Structure 1
C-alpha cells in the first residue's frame, strides 16, 4: 500500500490531468473526420511545390466544413510520423481559411417596404403615370420624388426599383408605368 503523501500526490496529478482534458479548448475531431480530410485533400496538402489551390466547392472543403470550427489543429495533432512526412502541416492548417465560405453578399440584402412603395407612388405620380406626355416631365434632385427614390434600398450600387415594381398591385400596374419607375434612379440617384 502507498503512503498517504504519495497517494495525495498521485490524486493531485490525476485531478490536474483530468481538468486539462475536460477544459481543453481544442475541439475533438474523430478519426473518421481526420481520415476523410486527408483522403479528400491529399492532392492539396502534399509538401513542396507545385502548390495546388483548393476550391471552396471541392470535396476537400466539404470535408473540412463538416468539422466543428474547421480547426485543423485537431487533424495535425493526430498525424502519425509517416503522415507528417507525407503531408505539409502548413497546408493542412491553411485549409480552414481556404475552405471558409464568404459571408452572404450585402448586395442582395436590400428589400423595399410597402411604405417606401406608397411614398414613391404618391411623390412621383406625375413622372410615372401611364400614358404619353409631350414633353415628358422629369424629376429633379431635391424634389420630393427624388427624395422618395433615394430612400429605396440599393442592390449593389443601384437603387432597387425592381423591388418597387414587384410590390405593385394589379390596379397600380394599370395606373403606373413600370418602365418609368425603373428609370427614376437615372434622374435621382445621388
Structure 2
C-alpha cells in the first residue's frame, strides 16, 4: 500500500502543473493579444465560452490532484478499500475533464477563430474542415484581432497536448 500511495502522490504532483497550465492557456484565449475589448464585445470563438481548459483540464483535474496528493495523509477512518475506491473515482473525474478539454480544443481548432474579415465578423475557416491549419497563407483573411489565428492555434494546440498528457497520467 505504501508504494502505491507514493506513486499516486507523484501522479498528483505531475498533474498539478498541467492543470494550472490548462487554466492559464484558457485564460489567454479570452484575451487575444492581451486585449480585453474582444471579450467585452463578445468577439471570441463560440467554443472558447465552454471553458475546456479552465473547467475540464483545470478545475475538474484538481479533483484527482487533491485526492492523489492527500492519499494516506488521513489515517483516521479511511480503510484501504475506501481509499482505493475514492482514488479510482477521482481518476475517472480527471479523465472526463481532460477528455472534455481535448474535444473542445479540437472542435475550436476545426471551427477556426471568429475574426473581422472583408465580410465583417465571421468564422472564415468554419467550412473547410481544418484545412486552414495547413494553409498559413489563408490566415491573412483575419484582419482583427491581429494574429488571432496564430494566437488561437498555438494556445489550442497547447491545450490539446496538455489534455492528452493529463489523460495518459
Q: TM-score range by the shorter chain?
A: under 0.3
TM-score by length of 1: 0.24
Q: Name the structure with the higher helix share.
A: 2
State which structure, 1 or 2, has the greater radius of gyration over its C-alpha atoms.
1
TM-score by length of 2: 0.26
